[in-house]
Amino acid sequence: MKLGVVAVLVLVQGPAARAATVNPVVEGRRLFLKMNCYGCHGIFGTGQIARNIQQPDPAGARTNITYGNSFGMPAFGKRLTSDQIGYIISYLGVAGTVTEPRFCDWWAPTPTKVCP
């Protein structure tokens, strides 16, 4: 019984505790802005200079972010960790949906300012 309570607490608090430090979607949005991705792909990933990258194929997105491509996409494999690339893909996975974060102040500890 006691063990069971502990197990439940771990199950509930473990992921919750991690989420308090890193929300992959929020962190991904932050990195999407910090790495200047929006300069080519648009402030919400809908495409401008480069194509729409909302809700991409995760494996293809990881390859493009890591290695870049011959059409001018820079390689970010040396600037970002594998986890960070995963966060960006998590953000892009919800981009264009009702749950997407729409903040612009990526430098703030808790971004709140919605893009104009």
Partner 1 sequence: MGLGLRLTGAWLTWLFMGAPAFGQGAGAEWPTAAGTPQGSRYSTLTEITDANVGLLRQEFAFPTGATGNHEGQPLVVGRVLYLVTPYPHKLIAIDLAKPKTPKWTFAPAVTTVAIGKACCDTVNRGAAYDNGVLFINTIDATTVAVDAATGKQKWRTRIADPLTGVTLTGAPIVVNGKVIVGSSGGEFGVRGFIQALNATTGKLVWKAYNTGPDADVLIGPGFKPYYAKDQGTDLGVSSWPTNMWQRGGATAWGWFTYDAGTNLLYYGTANPGVWNPDMRRGDNKWASSIIARNPDTGQAAWAYQVTPHDAWDFDAVNESIAADLTIGGVARKTLVHFNKNGFAYTLDRATGKLLRVAAFANQNWSKGVSLATGAPVPVAAKTPHLGVVAENVCPSPLGAKDWEPASQSLATKLFYVPAINLCSYTMGLKALYLAGAPFIGADAHIVPGPGGNLGELIAWDAAAAKRVWSVPEPLPLYGGTMATAGNLVFYGTLDRWFRAVNATTGAKLWEKKLECGMASAPISFTGADGRQRVAIITGTGWLSGGLSGGACPSIFSGSSGVLHVYKLP
Nearer to partner 1, 4 or 115 (CB): 115
Hey, which residues does 114 pair with through a beta bridge? Answer: 103
Give the start-end residues of each E strand in the chain.
none
Measured from the Cβ of residue 91, the count of other Cβ atoms closer than 10 Å reads 25
Nearer to partner 1, 18 or 79 (CB): 79
Report in angstroms how near the CB of residue 3 gets to partner 1 at its nearest. 48
* Measured distance between the N- and C-terminal CA atoms of the chain, rounded to whole angstroms: 53
Whose tokens are 């480069």? That residue is 50
Report in angstroms how near the CB of residue 73 gets to partner 1 at its nearest. 6
Hey, which residues does 103 pair with through a beta bridge? Answer: 114
Site residues (CB under 8 A) for partner 1? 33-36, 38-40, 43, 48-50, 69-74, 79, 104-108, 113, 115-116
Nearer to partner 1, 4 or 109 (CB): 109
